[in-house]
Amino acid sequence: MVEEDPRAHHFAQGVGGACLLASAMLTLWGLTAAGSVLGLLVIALATLNLSRKICMGCLMYFQYRRMRFALLRR
């Protein structure tokens, strides 16, 4: 077992939850096409995570950290 920092996974879960919430809100506001596309995007990324072990939310987190480090280093 490898101990891993859970912050990347928490960030990914938060992004997924926010996208699903936005999808539900768009659907309730009558923008069903946009809500469906956003919901299908979440399903596609979850399938990518399950099938290929690629977590796009984690990759987003690491890019955010890299960009933040580059900006704060100046």
Q: What is the mean pLDDT of each run of 10 residues along the chain (74 residues)?
A: 90 97 98 98 97 96 94 86
Q: Residue 27: how many CB atoms within 10 A of its CB?
A: 16
Q: Is the separation of the CB atoms in 58 and 11 below 8 Å? A: yes
**Position of tokens 């580059």?**
70
Report pTM. 0.85
C-alpha pair distances (Å), 62 with each of 9, 12, 59, 65: 11, 11, 5, 5
